Structure 1
């Protein structure tokens, strides 16, 4: 078990969405925090919110996780400020809307640098320190689209599948070495955040109609609040769960993919269409 009270947790992508909810929940349960994001104003707002109800030690770090040098600097700063740091949550992520032929290589690399390499570089930067703690935990946030891959998400799914593979292989390495570091990979379903609203669109897409349609569909099917997602992740950390599925939709899709590994999308597409119509 990795205890939250008395822990020190580093969270990337902390200024909004699941990251922000995690910070609030963790502080409320007695954890100190090192919070990272590109959005400095968002971090300041978050710290002020936490201070009003949970007087914990908090450090704020402006970090672009796509830059390995910034991640290395972030790790040095955090370890200096929080010598007892024992939990790392790689949460930062972005979305890219478009079919494969509608996005260019630079856009795909932009997404990978954040969603995949950001987590890998942070894990590499923090792991030596975490390995010296009596109990430690790494949490890598993948997606249900790291279990099944829908059309229009070639870049996002590729990165989230990569996070899953990296996390599972590293977990097995840590277990084999008898390391005190546990590792959980998180697969959220539809979470009520702004990730789709803030997504970039493929360079070959003109106008805002596709974005509006994607937002409308996402709003109709997103069933889980960021707060509930954060609580589920924390429970998974406490129980040392290797895989954390969030939401009934994620659990359904996980089972569907196991039952119909090559043909799941026909079933899923019909289900999404029905849910979208009910949401209008």
Structure 2
């Protein structure tokens, strides 16, 4: 039997993309699942597919920025299954626009979902997961949590924050001798709907953003991404790079240091000529 067999895992953002594939593969591996997403109808589709593999599944409509709702989700998961062994804080949104053109509300929305949603899920589930013999906290950052890019300041800020928060938590668990393993995940471009559902600043060509993401950036299949993530989680790795682009970004930032910040603006200027 593998690690996930008979474990209880909670997954946010489970209605689509990476979250959906994580839920399906966890179900196929024998895990019981507490699934959550702000989009209830597609979430029910994911839950039904997971039940088709024999998994015991709950589905909860959830806004991860609502701390009280996340607390209730964690409490309900433990009440329903008797315990919880891991949580995957996967829910996320994207926003595109230069700082000068961006509204505060849009910037706050990204940080609230992508960072505070992770903090909420971690804080509410952690006390329960610490009771597991081999607990797991899995937080989704991004390749943009390793390298910043122009036009994505709020997304970069949130994903860099997830990285720091998660690395600190892992050290806390290690220092305390707790068996909870904490993993930070850095996906590159994955073929999901995140660009199509993203907000954009005034003046940004939304269609161009979607085309650029889907045609030139999103190379990794969500199912492949989920397999890579779960393999790393099972092994308790501190971080998981998803896709060749994430690995390139990781190497580039290590080798170039702050000098990488000259590359993307130069490429953008060349492309506009």
TM-score (norm 2): 0.94
Q: Give the aligned partner of residue 214 of structure 1.
A: 209
State the distance in 2 between where 1:104 and 1:180 align: 42
Unaligned 5+ residue runs, structure 1? Answer: none
Write the mapping of 1:119-198 to structure 2, written as runs, cut at 5 A: 119-198=118-197
Deviation at 1:268, TM superposition (A): 5.0
Deviation at 1:240, TM superposition (A): 0.8
State the distance in 2 between where 1:271 and 1:20 align: 34
Q: Give the aligned partner of residue 243 of structure 2.
A: 247
Q: Give the aligned partner of residue 49 of structure 1.
A: 49
How many corresponding residue pairs?
A: 269
Are the equivalent residues in 2 in contact too, given 1:221–1:272 (CA < 8 A)?
no
State the distance in 1 between where 2:217 and 2:187 align: 13
Q: Give the aligned partner of residue 58 of structure 1.
A: 57
Aligned-pair RMSD on alpha carbons? 1.8
Q: Give the aligned partner of residue 263 of structure 1.
A: 259
Runs (4 or more) in structure 1 with deviation over 2 Å come to 265-274
State the distance in 2 between where 1:273 and 1:32 align: 50
Question: What is the CA deviation profile of residues 199-241 of structure 1, one whole-angstrom value per residue up to 9, with x for unaligned ones?
Answer: 0112xx14xx611111111112211010000000100011111
State the distance in 2 between where 1:42 and 1:273 align: 40
Q: Give the aligned partner of residue 35 of structure 2.
A: 35
Q: Give the aligned partner of residue 106 of structure 1.
A: 105
TM-score (norm 1): 0.92
Are the equivalent residues in 2 in contact too, given 1:87–1:136 (CA < 8 A)?
yes
Deviation at 1:50, TM superposition (A): 2.1
State the distance in 1 between where 2:26 and 2:20 align: 10
